[in-house]
Amino acid sequence: MNNANNGYHVAIVGATGMVGQEFIKILVQRKFPMASLQLYASDRSAGRKVFVGHQEMIVKETAQDSFNNIDIALFSAGSEISKHFAPVAAKAGALVIDNSAAWRMDSRVPLVVPEVNAEDIKKHRGIIANPNCSTIQMVVALFPLHRVNPIKRITVATYQSVSGTGIAAVEELTKQAKTVLDGGNVVPHVYAHQIAFNLLPEIDVFLENGYTKEEWKMVEETRKIMHAENIAISATCVRAPIFVSHSEAIQAEFTDYMPPDEARAILSKAPGVKVLDDPNVSLYPQPWLAAGTDDVYVGRIRSDASLMNGLVMWVVSDNIRKGAALNAVQIAEEAVNQGWVQQQNNNK
C-alpha cells in the first residue's frame, strides 16, 4: 500500500478484532501517510483475508520479527500479547501505541488523549498507552472545564455497550434478545448474567476495595492523563444492552462556581466535543446517534442541586472509535506532525 513517498510503515496487531478493524477503517478514512501496512493477529486468525480500502490483504501471525522496519505499531490484542510483543516492537524501532491495559499505569509510559495531554507523547520511550474507553470520553468532556476552573471531585456512573467486550458479546446480545422475545430461556456465556433487557453493574473483576477493575481504571487513568493527582473520583460502571457507544452521567465539583451557560460556551469551542443540549426539544446525546462518529457528545448540563460549585452532565461517545481506535490514530498523527516518530527504512 503506497499512499505517500515519505509515508510510514505501519503494523496493526489484533487486526481481525473489532478495534483492529476500526484501526484499518480510520487509517484509510483519515488518509494517514502510510508507505506500507502489515496486519497481524494470533495463530487462530492468521491467514484470514481483510479489506483495506478496496485492497484485500492477508493477516499474518504475530512473531518476533514482525516489526522489522516498522515505524508505527498499533496494538489491540489484549494485555498478555502487548506485554510480550510491545517491547519487541519498540526495540525494533517502532513507536508502539497500545490499546490494552498493560502499560497504562507504568510511570515510564505516557497515557494520552490528544485533546488533553498531547505534549506527553514526546516523552515516550517507544511505547504510548491508549486509555480505557470510558476514561477517554470523560476527560475529553471535563478537561476544557478543568483548565478554566480546577475540578476537585468527580462522581460518574457509566452505561457501557457490549462492543466494549468484543464481537462475542455483540453476538450474545443479539441472540439473547431474540430468545427472550420468543419466550425462551437464556443461558449466558460471555457475562455472568443475561445482558438482554438487563443491566449488569460488573465490568471486569472485583477488587478488594469493592470497586471493579474498570471503575478503578477510571480513577487512576483520569488523574494521570489530567496531571491532577488530587482529584477525588468515584465511579460505578454498568454494562448496558447497547451495541455501540458508552454513556456517562457525570457530577463534577469545581473550585469555584461555574454557571451551566459558561460550561456550554467552553465546551462548544473545545476540540473533539459537540454540545447537544436543548431540553425544550428533547435534544441530548444518545448512544445510537453517537455510533460511527468521532465526537464526544455532551448534554443535560445543569447545576448540581447538592453542591454549590457542582455541575451535572450526560456524555456519550462511540467506544470503538474515540474510545479506542480513533484516539490511537490521533496519537500517531500528533507524533508524526511533531516529528516524534523515528522512521526506519522508507524504501522497504
**How does residue 31 score in pLDDT terms, banded at 50, 70 and 90?**
very high
Q: How far apart are CA 91 and CA 126, in angstroms?
A: 8
- The rounded Cα 266 to chain-centroid distance in angstroms is 23
The structural domains of the chain, ordered by start, are: 8-102+325-337 (3.40.50.720), 134-317 (3.30.360.10)
Phi, psi for 253 (deg, rounded to 5): -105, 125
- Cell digits for 57? 490483504
Given a cut of 90, is residue 5 above it in pLDDT? no
Task: Please return the burial class of 76, using the count of CB atoms within 10 Å of its CB with bins 0-12, 13-18 and 19+.
Answer: buried
Task: Please return the burial class of 333, using the count of CB atoms within 10 Å of its CB with bins 0-12, 13-18 and 19+.
Answer: middle
- Cell digits for 346? 522508507
Q: Which has the closest alpha carbon to 247: 168, 328, 133, 330?
A: 133
- For 246-281, write each residue's pLDDT tens digit: 999 999 999 999 999 999 999 999 999 999 999 999
Given a cut of 90, is residue 103 above it in pLDDT? yes
**How does residue 138 score in pLDDT terms, banded at 50, 70 and 90?**
very high
Catalytic residue among 9, 124, 146, 246: 246
Task: Please return the burial class of 6, using the count of CB atoms within 10 Å of its CB with bins 0-12, 13-18 and 19+.
Answer: exposed
Question: Within 13 Å of residue 254, how many CA atoms lie on the same side as its CB?
Answer: 23
Given a cut of 60, is residue 4 above it in pLDDT? no
The amino acid present at 289, given as its one-letter code, is L
Catalytic residue among 124, 133, 146, 237: 133
Q: Sheet holding 273-275: strands in order across?
A: 232-239, 151-160, 246-254, 310-317, 296-303, 273-275
Q: By the 8 A CB rule, do 214 and 194 touch?
A: no
* Helical ranges in the chain per DSSP H: 18-29, 79-91, 114-117, 133-148, 167-181, 213-226, 260-268, 287-290, 326-337
pLDDT at 345: 64
Using N-to-C axis directions, what is the helix angle for 18-29 and 326-337, rounded to 10°? 40
Q: How far apart are CA 204 and CA 209, in angstroms?
A: 14
Q: By the 8 A CB rule, do 216 and 134 touch?
A: no
Helix (H) or strand (E) holding 296: strand 296-303
- For 44-93, write each residue's pLDDT tens digit: 999 999 999 999 999 999 999 999 999 999 999 999 999 999 999 999 99
- Residue 249's SS3 state is strand
Tell me if residue 237 is catalytic: no
Tell me if residue 246 is catalytic: yes
- The rounded Cα 339 to chain-centroid distance in angstroms is 24
pLDDT at 344: 79
**How does residue 200 score in pLDDT terms, banded at 50, 70 and 90?**
very high
